[in-house]
Each structure stands twice: as C-alpha cells, then as structure tokens.
Chain A
Amino acid sequence: MAQKIDVTKHVLVPAHTVVSEKEKKKIIEKYNLKGIELPRIFKDDPAVAHLKAKPGDIIKITRKSSTAGESVFYRRVTSA
C-alpha cells in the first residue's frame, strides 16, 4: 500500500538548494555575517534530507510569496 512520497513536490514546500562556496562568500559579505546569524535548518529536515547537506552549508530557499511574488531566504544547516 505504501507509496513513495516526494516531499519536495508538496504545495507547502518551497524549493531548497545548497548554495555553492562562491555564492556563500557573496552572501556572507552582503549581509555582513559573522558566523551563526542565519536562521537554522536541521540537516535531517525532510525537505533537505535528499540534498545531503553538511552542517555549515547554506540552503537557499525560494519561496512563493503572496506579497512579493517570489522571495529568497537563507538558512544555515545544523546537525540536530
């Protein structure tokens, strides 16, 4: 009876992607980050589990927003 569920296709789940090293530097510079200020996301969060992200990576989240059409948000991966 069990069917395979692709969490990323659910209407509530926005697109998650791992940010590249180069882009990571850009983000840190743009927002003047000193390390841990970004909001967090667990590395075993259902929406990022398939990305195999390591703690310390930055996840780029492209949300569909009712006010701005599309908005970009960043979260830092943490282990549990």
Chain B
Amino acid sequence: MHEALKPYVGKLPRSILEEIEEKCPASKIKKVAEKALEEYNTAMIAPGEAVGLISAESIGEPGTQMTLDTFHFAGVAEMNVTMGLPRIIEILDGRKTLATPMMEIFLKSPYNKGKDIRKCALLVKETTLGEIVTEFVIDIVDLKIEAKLDAEKMALLGLTPARLAKAVSKAKTLSKEASVKENKEGNLVLKLKGKEEKGLNDLYKLKETARDVYVCGIKGVTQVLPVKRKDEFIIITAGSNLKKVLDLDFVDPNRTMSNDIYEITENFGIEAARQAIIEEVFKVIEAQGLNVDIRHIMLVADTMCVSGAIKGITRYGVVSEKASVLARASFETPIKHVINAALAGEVDKLNSVVENVMLNQAVPVGTGLPGLVTKVKKGKLK
C-alpha cells in the first residue's frame, strides 16, 4: 500500500483505499484520500437514524412488484425452483422445510472436467430398488418374487447382487416381511416370511414396498442434473443433504452449497449462514430485475443471526427476543404476550421505539436519541 494512504487505514474501508491506489497518480494520492475521507464521513449514516425502517421500506416496496409464481429452469430438464416472493418469505421466515431444497455440488479435479460425471451424479442421487429392477416376476406357487436386475445400472453404481441383497434385506420396511437372497442368475429373490397363511395380496403388497426400498446414494436427493458452469461441471440436485454429500470423496467440500440455511448453519456455522442468507435473497431480487441495495439485506441477515442461531422475522423468531412486552404485543398475538408478561411480572423499561410510540413519548431515534449531557458547575447560583 502507498505510504500516503497508511494513515487512512481504519478510517476508510478497504475497497475505497484500493480504488484510490489503483486509479490515482502517486502525486495526488494524499489529496484524493483527504477528500475521499471527507465525502465518506458525510455519506455515512447518522447515529440514531432508523436504519431498520429504511431497510424495511427499501425491500418492501420492490417486493410488491415480484412475481408470485414458481418457475422451471428454462430449457434445462424439469426442475422446480421457488423464486420470487415465496422464496424471499421462506428465507426471511427462517423456514425449516423448504418448498424446493437444492444443492450445488462442486467437484474436485479431475471430476469437474467431466470425468465420470454421470457416475458421480448417480452416486449422489437416492436410488430405490424399483429403479434398478427391470421386472418383478411374481411366482404364485411358491409365493415369491424374482426381481430382475438391470446389469448396466448396477455396474454404473458399483453394486453386485450380493451387496444389493444385503442392503435390501436391511431395509426397515422389508426386513419383517420378507427374506432376500440372490439366485444363480444374479437376480434377487424375495420370499414372504412368517408362519401364518400368506396370500397373493401380501405378495403384491411386498412388491410395492420393495419398489421403494432405499438402495444407495444420498437420502433426500430426488433429482440430479450435471451442468456445465463456466469451464467446469457441477451437479445441481433437487433435495438437500449437505452432511452426507460433503462426505463423498469426489465432492469439493469448500464450495459445495445448499439453499437450506439451516443445513448451512449446522455444517458451516452462523457466519456462513449469514452470508448464505444475503446471497440467496440477493439472487432472487436480482433475478426479478429489481434494484435493492445489498446493505439492506445485510442488515436483515445480521438481525436474523444475532443470537447465534437462525431466527426468522416472525413472532416466534426475532420478535420473541425483544426485551419490551409492549413491543412484542404490538406485532402479533397481543393478548398472549400481555397475559404471559403479567403472569411473569415483567417490567418494561421503555428503551425502544414502538413502546414509546404507544405511550405518546419521545422516541429514541434520530434527534430523540441523545440525552442532555452537561457539567454542573460547583458553587452558588447567582
């Protein structure tokens, strides 16, 4: 960094310092920095300004123009993505179950250049028995089912009939009902268990449960889609399970992401979640062609992450954390709050805005914030 800029470190943000250094001739740096600091200080928001209110209106107004629909990826396969207002509401409410959970899985080299991309994608996808079986042959005489396997798919998934039989027999839905073995032709044979008389109906039921038995892959991932982005391949999935995906050895654990904020908090911590909220919300706003300053979103994200865990902007989330009874009651379900406060003997210190508005007092924002500070002179009054 240039010598003349050193005194400004800490006074000006880094991005401005870098810009000055890059664009200014060395002889003028000092003057420019001086002027920049002056400008910066006048542009800075004043103490006591109600920034939350500004943010609320700045996000809220363009929000009225957002579409209410969910869209498909145009052209690229059938995959649903929640966009627009519903997605924003989902993020800011801090919902635990998303309408369309998704992951973006980045791959390590050489897989990100397209090596075995299909195989990688298949390993991520949750596979059920029904998908690798070409035909279920029902044997009415012996009351058993022969499942003919798709050898090609098996090879792609790295499965052998013996291993498959083991995996299938472990399944909770099946283990009580039937025994699973492989036969000479390399197919699976499912046989009904139990001493009591079993009929054809049970056999058909068994066939249906067998279809949905989990075989391999990552639970919760219902669709996979290898996509080329810039000059590398990534896998986009429908369904999210970050923890399991990060364990796979061809996955790049440093860039793989989910759109589920709670999963991010669990795996990468609260700061990563804050960043994810900002990026997810901004992505939606940008996609809608709206223009909201990112600082407003940052403020909201910060508010949601203050407690160390995600708190949605709802009466169960950030509002429930407010110290003032009146402020909580002014949001939603007032009677509940008032009654509970009365039972607990809560005291309202009237330190914030809403409660003072209710009581018709000066509000501690803007010019209402500073108190009078004065030094009392000793001595007699004249």
- Residues of chain A having any CB pair with chain B under 8 Å: 1-3, 5-7, 9-14, 16, 39-42, 45-48, 61, 63, 65-71, 75, 78
- Residues of chain B having any CB pair with chain A under 8 Å: 13-18, 246-249, 253-255, 257, 264, 266-272, 275-276, 294-295, 298, 302, 305-309
Shortest distance in angstroms between A26's beta carbon and chain B's nearest beta carbon?
13
Report how many A-B pairs have Cβ atoms within 8 Å. Answer: 97
Question: Do A12 and B276 touch (CB < 8 A)?
Answer: yes
Q: Pick the contact of A45 from B255, B270, B302 — CB < 8 Å?
A: B270
Q: Pick the contact of B269 from A3, A39, A45, A68 — CB < 8 Å?
A: A45
Whether A10 touches B255, Cβ cut-off 8 Å, given contacts A47-B269, A63-B271, is yes
Docked Cα-Cα span, A23 to B276, in Å, equals: 29
Whether A1 touches B269, Cβ cut-off 8 Å, given contacts A10-B254, A12-B275, A69-B13, is no
What residue of chain B has the Cβ atom nearest to residue A45's Cβ? Answer: B269
For the complex with contacts A42-B270, A46-B269, A70-B14, 20 further pairs of A-B residues with Cβ separation under 8 Å are: A2-B247, A5-B246, A7-B269, A9-B254, A10-B272, A11-B257, A12-B275, A13-B269, A13-B271, A16-B271, A39-B308, A45-B269, A46-B267, A47-B268, A47-B270, A47-B272, A66-B294, A67-B295, A69-B16, A75-B270
Question: Do A1 and B249 touch (CB < 8 A)?
Answer: yes
Q: Which of A5, A12, A71, A75 has the most CB of B within 10 A?
A: A12
Docked Cα-Cα span, A17 to B15, in Å, equals: 22
Docked Cα-Cα span, A66 to B301, in Å, equals: 15
- Which 7 A-B pairs give the minimum distances between C-beta atoms? A47-B269, A69-B14, A69-B15, A68-B13, A12-B272, A40-B308, A45-B269
Docked Cα-Cα span, A45 to B264, in Å, equals: 11
Docked Cα-Cα span, A28 to B58, in Å, equals: 33
Q: Pick the contact of A46 from B13, B268, B302 — CB < 8 Å?
A: B268
Q: Which of A10, A41, A78 has the most CB of B within 10 A?
A: A10
Shortest distance in angstroms between A35's beta carbon and chain B's nearest beta carbon?
14
